[in-house]
Amino acid sequence: MARYKLIIAYDGSRFSGWQAQKNAKTVAGTLNEVLSMLYQQDINVYGSGRTDSGVHAIGQVAHCDIDAMPSKEEIQSKLPYGIHIRSLEKTDNRFHARHHAKARSYVYQLSNIKPLFVSKYVWTVEKNLSLPILRQGLEKIKGFHDFASFSAEKDETVSTKVHILDSSYKAYDDAIVLRFVGSHFLRSMIRRVVGTLVALSTDELSLPEFEQCIDTFSLLPSRLTAPPDGLFLEKVWYNSEIEISETIEPPLISSWKNTIR
């Protein structure tokens, strides 16, 4: 039996998250069903991390073990609309998509207009955001912090300390794209960070109040959670040297380049 590494893009609006569930249509569950049917064995796909219902991916990385030599084209032909296999390659039998990941990046897309055709991929914020204030907030979260205020983790054994390697943004005519690069991310963490940053940038929250959410535990970020629509898992790194591109593309453009069906 050989181990294979997959890079996957998907439209999260069509699935109830990544993780396989008995009574819900999920990305991993769909992949498990298709692969098991094609290769006549019980196959389970393990991802670099779980994405919540409605959250998208441009570069989710996963691994699975298959007896036969799989075909990317054959797998793709059986998958439903909304999941695209970007690459499939044989890898070391010890490779683990989650345990061996060194860092991950997510992008979040905001817009000040209501887009007709892509509303499932953006959060419309009709108030004007102060970009200088947004930049200050992004700088504040860089480094090693306890993000307990921004976490929806129910498992108390999970550490809420996360190293944010980079947090930045790129402004376009009608959109702002935020990028977060970190060692890992907690459940709902980015959505709560984004919601709190938007509140900060629209003068609903002061900078000292924002800093307090980082320095001490607060329930405020949970009330400001951004919707999943604009969030995309962008990339996963497995090398110790993490090169972060200065270019931040709107995720729909990046997704188009990676030929999402």
Would you please indicate which residues are annotated as catalytic (active-site) residues?
Answer: 52
User: In sequence order, which residues have a C-beta less than 8 Å from that of residue 155 and are 6 or more positions away?
Assistant: none
Give dist(CA 65, CA 46) in Å, integer: 10
Q: Which residue has the tokens 């940053």?
A: 197
In contact, 43 and 33? CB cutoff 8 Å: no
Give the side-chain half-sphere CA count within 13 A for 258.
25
Burial class (CB within 10 angstroms; exposed 0-12, middle 13-18, buried 19+) of 117: exposed
Query: What is the residue-wise DSSP string for 114-161?
Result: --SS-GGG-EE--SPP-HHHHHHHHHHH-EEEE-GGG-----TTS--E
Give one DSSP letter per residue of 82-122, joined into a string: TEEEEEEEEE-TT--TTTT--EEEEEEEEESS--SS-GGG-
